[in-house]
Amino acid sequence: MLSSSTLNTEPSATRAETWPVVVTFLRCVPFQVTKSHTILTASRNCFRPIHRSFSGGYDENQSEVDVPVCLRLPGAFKAQSLTPGSSENGGLEEIECHINGDYSIPCRKEGDEVYLPFSFIHKYFEVYGKMAIYDGYMRFEWSHSYSKVYYPKGKYDPRGVFLYFENYNVELRERVKCISATEGVPVSTQWESNGYYYPTQVAQFGLAHYSKNLTEPEPRIKVLDDGISSFGNWSGDKVSRENHILVFNTMGTDSRDVHMSMDYVLDFVLSVELMLKAADNSSFVVVVQSREKNENQDVYHRVNCDGGKWSILVRDLLVDLQKGLAAQSKPKKKLLRSKFKVTGMRLEGSGKLANLSLATSRHLEQFYMAADWLVRHQDPVTGGWANPVKRKGPHGMKDLQPGWLSAMGQGHGMSLLARAYHQSKRPEYLRAGLLSLRPFHADSSHGGVLAHFMGSLPWYEEYPTQPASFVLNGFIYSLIGLYDLLSLVPKSHEAAVLFNQGMTSLKKLLPLFDNGSGSNYDLRHFSLGVAPNIARWDYHATHVNQLLLLATIDNSTILSITADRWLGYMAGKRAQHN
């Protein structure tokens, strides 16, 4: 087992600065050394709970002031001191507001105008606002929604960025437990706290890194040891070279490790090829120092290193640290990269090392890690990427049992594999992409993702519930995946047929998702005869972003007109009354 860990120690007395030390390391241990090791393996090889606190920093672009705010209807807020029940202070006095004959709240009155507390307005109308200061000027900022729309810059290109995913940082999501050191992809806790691989999230991870690779500057890479042009300044006599490979063995010696000192800032993405021997309890340690607090911190990750196998690892050291903090329910604070630096590495036990480097990013490598995961874990018969957890359905719908497939996951997988094949021309990506079409032909009640609205219009289900739920965003993501596949992969006539019939269904059913002030997440109100499931603003914004993208590849006016109307809903507009 290979374990990646983060450890905090006191700084050495010779340093001029006060930097607490954080260490990230990879350790090999026999599979059943202790009970805790077995538990870690059962929880998808992430990290154990850690016992010390750590404080990071907020990345603030502006100051926010936590003060009470009142809303004047109509008019603007005026800040004045008040005397309850009087009007001596500029005519502003307390008044009771009786809401719908049900309850009362304290308000303020000035002449014919009435001020209501914004805390009430926020909850009652689901609008948002905050006090902010810019260059010493205070103002109240009101927003009807809290999500952002990304306008396409041109026709959607399947070779380019995936929607607006260059803005995503999947690994820092709250529902991502860690990046697996075994697979190099996210471990999710969305429906299972122990962690599991969620195919949709794995694909999003890869698509985000693909998009960032196209939009960000070339990474700065510092080669530390490749055995050709750069040889690490490792201390100790327990290292040797086999061609370009570093070999180490500290077993049976007084000095338990081989180490190398350094001083790098801002380069926190580690890339290394390792072969560590589990029997010797081997470790690879990265020392990171922080300016914040002198507190110890341990975070462990593991991969299988039995049998003398090489592991290729790409680790964002600060992501590892941040996920360790989240595991112990510490306050969630963004860790500022400027507060850290890498100061050393250690090798313990026995093993081999090659191609060691630090970089500002390794987006392309992480993209291919996600693509390779999809190839390895695709069912060769169904073509699906199974979700290994139970998902509880809403009242009236059956729970989804482990093994269910998702049209959204299949679509994201196509988008990723089509790009991987376009970039590399490797045939395994082509085969997996074409195989992933199979679930679109199988009914959602029989292990596939295909449902029919009113028994006629085909719909690809994000969640293959019984009865069908007709989730909008997942359906559109599957259409985008089909479009990516038919655009980038040869012999994809099957994808074209599925895409075209799906677009026909979308155009006919899209009006059913419009509720006059927003959009519906799904059509459960039709399937179950219950109240509509109104989309949160972030999902509503996703609907708008998706429609704007589709409007660049399909000239049907219903797509652009609906997107414009739904944009208006985000600014407080409503459908007309009769």
Cα(56)–Cα(324) distance, integer angstroms: 12
Tokens of 435: 């195989």
CA distances, 62 to each of 137, 339, 507 (Å): 11, 19, 43
Cβ neighbours around 105 below 10 Å, total? 13
What string of pLDDT tens digits covers the 578 residues of the chain?
A: 333 333 333 333 333 444 545 444 455 543 333 333 222 222 333 333 333 333 333 333 444 444 344 444 444 344 444 444 555 555 789 999 999 999 999 999 999 999 999 999 999 999 999 999 998 999 999 999 999 999 999 999 999 999 999 999 999 999 999 999 889 999 999 999 999 999 999 999 999 999 999 999 999 999 999 999 999 999 877 889 999 999 999 887 666 679 999 988 889 999 999 998 887 888 888 888 887 766 666 666 676 666 678 999 999 999 998 888 777 766 667 788 888 889 899 998 899 999 999 999 999 999 999 999 999 999 999 999 999 999 999 899 999 999 999 999 999 999 999 999 999 999 999 999 999 999 999 999 999 999 999 999 999 999 999 999 999 999 999 999 999 999 998 878 999 999 999 999 999 999 999 999 999 999 999 999 999 999 999 999 999 999 999 999 999 999 999 999 999 999 999 999 99
Cα(286)–Cα(344) distance, integer angstroms: 6
Cα(254)–Cα(217) distance, integer angstroms: 46
Cα(546)–Cα(540) distance, integer angstroms: 10
Cα(267)–Cα(225) distance, integer angstroms: 15
Helix, strand or coil for residue 400?
strand
Cβ neighbours around 403 below 10 Å, total? 14
Order the strands of the 63-65 sheet from edge to edge: 63-65, 128-134, 137-143
Helix, strand or coil for residue 205?
helix
- pLDDT (0 to 100) of residue 25: 47
Helices (H), 153-228: 199-215
Shortest CA distance to 172 belongs to which of 145, 150, 196, 201?
201
Tokens of 39: 């538990």
Cα(346)–Cα(257) distance, integer angstroms: 6
In order of their start, the domains of the chain are 2-60+239-363 (no CATH), 378-570 (1.50.10.20)
CA atoms within 13 A on the CB side of 351: 33
Shortest CA distance to 213 belongs to which of 153, 269, 256, 173?
269
User: 3-state SS of 241-287?
Assistant: EECCEEEEECCCCCCCEEEEEEEEECCCEEEEEEEECHHHCCEEEEE
- pLDDT (0 to 100) of residue 116: 96
Conformational region of residue 403, where left means phi above 0, alpha means psi within -120 to 50, and beta covers everything else: left
Tokens of 20: 């607490």
The beta strands (E) that lie in 111-230 are given as: 113-117, 128-134, 137-143, 176-179, 186-188, 221-225
Helix, strand or coil for residue 108?
strand
Question: What is the Cα Rg of the chain in Å?
Answer: 28
Instruction: State the greatest distance between any 2 C-alpha atoms of the chain, in Å, as a whole number.
Output: 89
